[in-house]
Structure 1
Amino acid sequence: MLFGTNLQYANSYNNRIVLEIIRLHGPVSRMDISRRTHLTVQTVTNITKKLEKSGLILEHSRQISGRGAPAAQLKINEDAAYSIGIDFDKDHLTAVMLNMNGKICYEMSRDLDFPSPEEALDLMSSTVTDIIQDQKVSKKKIWGVGIGLPGPMDPTKDKMQSDDMFNPDALPGWDHTPVLRYLKDRLGLPIITENNASAAAIGEHWYGKGKHINSFFFLYFGAGLGGGLVIRGQLYSGHTGNAGELGYFPSSLRADNGHRFEHDHLGGYFNMPLLKQKMINAGYPASSQKDLASRFDESNPILMEWLKTGTEQLVPLIAAVEYLIDPEVIFLGGRLPENILAWMRQRILDALPPHRIPRKSVRPELEIASSGIDAAALGVATLPLYTILAPVPELLMKQDLRHADHFGPNS
């Protein structure tokens, strides 16, 4: 879509660009910001004065550089704002609180057993309230709450304004559940919903290894399988908002997935609740990710069969991602322990060569994401900050003109 602009939007965009440079490269001088952004030093000075006055940045130190007064070094004020993220699926709820620099101030996780919408919404609400009280943070500093949900999500619904967006196959009984309205009414905070996998990609882009990577694909292992795509530094959602939904890709093998699909799908091979139940029924502790890591170290036969079959199905699809998207990096991440992800990475690397053409000399790296098993919670916690601060024209154009030149939850 093509957008026109005006001076007010241009000013707000420049504010975001300067803040993003400070976030990525700080402590940094105004002169260095000017070089990186191609804005004049005077423009940068005016913007940084405004950011300092709002409390979003601080003067870190002064660095002597040639003659004259030492140059002030600017950095993000990490206590200026906070956001909370809740990653929810049928088998778990994970919550984190981030400060403005992406530092995790609080985290918790608990196992669930297919809760009803009423039970889950009450738990989400009480969790957010408990976090704010526990951390003794002013509610005015909480810029919002991100809620991660299994995809795909309804493309006709606004993730910040509308309910009724949930996939009945992933969350039976949740269609027409007023998640946004309920949480807004209970908490009095901005609420944003997002596909878990896309949220994990945003978190990796803002605070993980993807911070300085222009384009990458995030392969997300949650209760099932999903994917998130960052292109040119921005989340790419596709026409319907569900780009990267690899779990619904048809598979040629028969899957024991417990779902009502006419054809078998790749996500059926990564059904984590089903895996855990099989292991528990066989007498193997498997309730937590720590349990899974231990069972892997023991070469548990049920787990190893699950991994080998699923990874075999992934290989040709990863090759397709290479050729269709041409990312710099493909990340493996989500709720699988790191020792399992490392095993999968090596097995995929060993199996990929027959799927590649020799003439393609530059290939994407295959790496383990740095966001760990809380990737989706970290990602959805990033969303309120990302929506308000990221220098993305599409986000800026959604803002009310009255607030376009200001930062904060009413921006």
Structure 2
Amino acid sequence: MLTGTNLVYTKQYNLRIVHEVVRRFGPLTRADIAQRTELTVQTISNLVNELLALGLVFETDRRRQKRGAPSSAIGINPEGAFTLGLDLDRDHLTGVLVDLAGSVRQRQHVDLDFPTPMQALDLMVQTAESLMAAEGLTPEEVSGVGVGVPGPMHRAADGQGYVVNPKSFPGWHDVPLAAWLHERVGIPILLENNATAAAIGERLYGAGQQFRTFFYFYIGSGLGGGVVIDRQAYTGFTGNAGEIGYLPTVLSGDPTGTDETPHVGTHFRLPRLYQLLRSEGKDARTPDDLARLLSEGHATLLEWMDDAADHLTGLVLAVEYVIDPEAIFFGGRLPERVIAGLMERVAAHLPKRRIQEKLAGPRHLLATAGADAAALGVATLPIYEAFAPAPQVLLKKAAART
């Protein structure tokens, strides 16, 4: 069905545009905002006044212009909204409390060893309550909670998010984590694949701001990916776009897709790497341990990096040919030095494996948010949902769902 729009939805879209411009480039005068958005000064004045009334922006001291009276500048009000981000994986839970400007106000991290769903739920509730208490906030003062989980996941017709038996989380099949958490904390919950969440964080607050289209390789307890197209996160039909770690390593694998099928992401599971290193008598349980072993030039870790880069090169080429992005980011739980080492190895492989007809490839960049990328990304989900200038806001059906 072709869906039209009207002035109500156009106004909502323009509000988001103004908010995004102020967030990225502010503080700005109303005239500056009008110039950047190509909207009239009167329209901008009306929209800014509405954002001021909502407490989402504030007016700074007046600036002296070249001509005429001084003009005040508009900036994002950090106190305008607070959100929580909870990044859950097999080996950790990281929680952050973020303000509207994207600054992390509070952070907590705990190492885990394969928690059950109820153990994880209890810890997430405790973490959320502790973060709010540390900032002196009540649940009513928090706009939403973003939760990052390993994929795959499923969004049901009722909008609820379910964890669907990720390889790194046996026993987590069809866990209604979002509904459980909402019942316990009383705050709106948004569940997202942690790789997509990391990509959203990079898009809003990192180097991803300068690109319209990019892919994000996320290495956590396995390998995942996040897709951003035309500055919007693309999650696909079931919410699992970018789950590149589930690609088979060989075409002769089990066609039924059972556990016997060898997947490329298996190589990137950090718990398996830790176990391998411990079998050699090395203390390896956290990313910091990997950084230490790399500085020591540990042979097994270097061999793992060589093999990982070989797998990663084929995936990079697949992303190039299917999406043709401007940039590819590499990030996740690995230490930056390990990720940088993987990038160097991939760069060395690409000229030999890329087709000659492809004259240029995307830029390869180290993600800027570090090990907290997914936590920061999911914390921004409520803000992203509410304020990102997504084109679907213009559609009546889409607007009716929000």
TM-score by length of 2: 0.93
In the TM superposition, what is the alpha-carbon distance from 1:65 to its structure 2 partner?
2.3
Per the alignment, do residues 75 and 236 of structure 1 end up closer, same or farther by CA in structure 2, a change over 3 Å counting?
A: same
Task: Confirm whether residue 364 of structure 1 aligns to residue 359 of structure 2.
Answer: no
In the TM superposition, what is the alpha-carbon distance from 1:45 to its structure 2 partner?
0.2
1:45-100 per-residue CA deviation (whole Å, 9 max, x = no partner) reads 01101111221111223322222112221110112111111111122111111111
Per the alignment, do residues 105 and 254 of structure 1 end up closer, same or farther by CA in structure 2, a change over 3 Å counting?
A: farther
Instruction: Indicate the SS of the match to 2:284.
Output: coil
Per the alignment, do residues 2 and 369 of structure 1 end up closer, same or farther by CA in structure 2, a change over 3 Å counting?
A: farther
Q: Which residue of 1 aligns with 2:283?
A: 285
**1:63-74 residue pairs with structure 2 within 5 A?**
63-74=63-74
Relative to structure 2, which stretch is displaced further, 198-207 or 62-71? 62-71
Judge conservation of contact 1:82–1:99 (CA < 8 Å) in 2. yes
Following the alignment from structure 1 to structure 2, what is the Cα–Cα distance between the partners of residues 344 and 266?
15
In the TM superposition, what is the alpha-carbon distance from 1:2 to its structure 2 partner?
4.6
Q: Which residue of 2 aligns with 1:249?
A: 247
Per the alignment, do residues 399 and 143 of structure 1 end up closer, same or farther by CA in structure 2, a change over 3 Å counting?
A: farther
Which amino acid in 2 is paired with 1:240?
T
Which amino acid in 2 is paired with 1:321?
V
Relative to structure 2, which stretch is displaced further, 378-387 or 313-322? 313-322
Instruction: Indicate the SS of the match to 2:79.
Output: coil
Relative to structure 2, which stretch is displaced further, 353-362 or 270-279? 353-362
Q: Which residue of 1 aligns with 2:296?
A: 298
The root-mean-square deviation of aligned C-alpha atoms, in Å, is 2.2
Per the alignment, do residues 2 and 29 of structure 1 end up closer, same or farther by CA in structure 2, a change over 3 Å counting?
A: farther
Q: Which residue of 1 aligns with 2:12?
A: 12
In the TM superposition, what is the alpha-carbon distance from 1:372 to its structure 2 partner?
0.3
Judge conservation of contact 2:163–2:172 (CA < 8 Å) in 1. no
Per the alignment, do residues 262 and 395 of structure 1 end up closer, same or farther by CA in structure 2, a change over 3 Å counting?
A: farther
Relative to structure 2, which stretch is displaced further, 274-283 or 51-60? 274-283
Q: Which residue of 2 aligns with 1:29?
A: 29
Judge conservation of contact 1:151–1:170 (CA < 8 Å) in 2. no
Following the alignment from structure 2 to structure 1, what is the Cα–Cα distance between the partners of residues 80 and 219?
33
In the TM superposition, what is the alpha-carbon distance from 1:153 to its structure 2 partner?
1.4
Per the alignment, do residues 265 and 294 of structure 1 end up closer, same or farther by CA in structure 2, a change over 3 Å counting?
A: same
Following the alignment from structure 1 to structure 2, what is the Cα–Cα distance between the partners of residues 17 and 275?
44
Which amino acid in 1 is paired with 2:54?
S
Per the alignment, do residues 357 and 62 of structure 1 end up closer, same or farther by CA in structure 2, a change over 3 Å counting?
A: farther
In the TM superposition, what is the alpha-carbon distance from 1:44 to its structure 2 partner?
0.3
Structure 1 gaps, min length 5? 405-410
Relative to structure 2, which stretch is displaced further, 391-400 or 34-43? 391-400
In the TM superposition, what is the alpha-carbon distance from 1:216 to its structure 2 partner?
0.5
Q: Which residue of 2 aligns with 1:338?
A: 336
Following the alignment from structure 1 to structure 2, what is the Cα–Cα distance between the partners of residues 196 and 366?
20
Following the alignment from structure 2 to structure 1, what is the Cα–Cα distance between the partners of residues 394 and 152?
25
Judge conservation of contact 1:332–1:369 (CA < 8 Å) in 2. yes
Judge conservation of contact 2:212–2:231 (CA < 8 Å) in 1. yes
Q: Which residue of 2 aligns with 1:136?
A: 136
Instruction: Indicate the SS of the match to 1:79.
Output: helix
Instruction: Indicate the SS of the match to 2:143.
Output: strand
Q: Which residue of 2 aligns with 1:407?
A: none
Judge conservation of contact 1:315–1:348 (CA < 8 Å) in 2. yes
**1:120-269 residue pairs with structure 2 within 5 A?**
120-154=120-154, 156=156, 161-252=159-250, 261-269=259-267
Identity %, equivalent residues? 45
1:245-299 per-residue CA deviation (whole Å, 9 max, x = no partner) reads 11011113999xxx96232111011010111122223221222211111111112
Following the alignment from structure 2 to structure 1, what is the Cα–Cα distance between the partners of residues 247 and 302?
23
Judge conservation of contact 1:154–1:167 (CA < 8 Å) in 2. no
TM-score by length of 1: 0.91
Following the alignment from structure 2 to structure 1, what is the Cα–Cα distance between the partners of residues 350 and 42?
52
Which amino acid in 2 is paired with 1:53?
A
Per the alignment, do residues 109 and 266 of structure 1 end up closer, same or farther by CA in structure 2, a change over 3 Å counting?
A: same
Judge conservation of contact 2:86–2:148 (CA < 8 Å) in 1. yes
Report runs of 4+ in structure 1 exceeding 6 Å deviation.
none
Per the alignment, do residues 260 and 223 of structure 1 end up closer, same or farther by CA in structure 2, a change over 3 Å counting?
A: farther
Relative to structure 2, which stretch is displaced further, 175-184 or 121-130? 175-184
Following the alignment from structure 1 to structure 2, what is the Cα–Cα distance between the partners of residues 39 and 60?
22
1:23-52 per-residue CA deviation (whole Å, 9 max, x = no partner) reads 111011111211221211101001101111
Q: Which residue of 1 aligns with 2:114?
A: 114
In the TM superposition, what is the alpha-carbon distance from 1:165 to its structure 2 partner?
4.2
Following the alignment from structure 1 to structure 2, what is the Cα–Cα distance between the partners of residues 327 and 22?
26
Following the alignment from structure 2 to structure 1, what is the Cα–Cα distance between the partners of residues 183 and 196?
26
Following the alignment from structure 2 to structure 1, what is the Cα–Cα distance between the partners of residues 128 and 192?
17
Aligned length: 398
Instruction: Indicate the SS of the match to 1:331.
Output: strand
Per the alignment, do residues 286 and 33 of structure 1 end up closer, same or farther by CA in structure 2, a change over 3 Å counting?
A: same
Following the alignment from structure 2 to structure 1, what is the Cα–Cα distance between the partners of residues 321 and 166?
32
Following the alignment from structure 1 to structure 2, what is the Cα–Cα distance between the partners of residues 253 and 288?
34
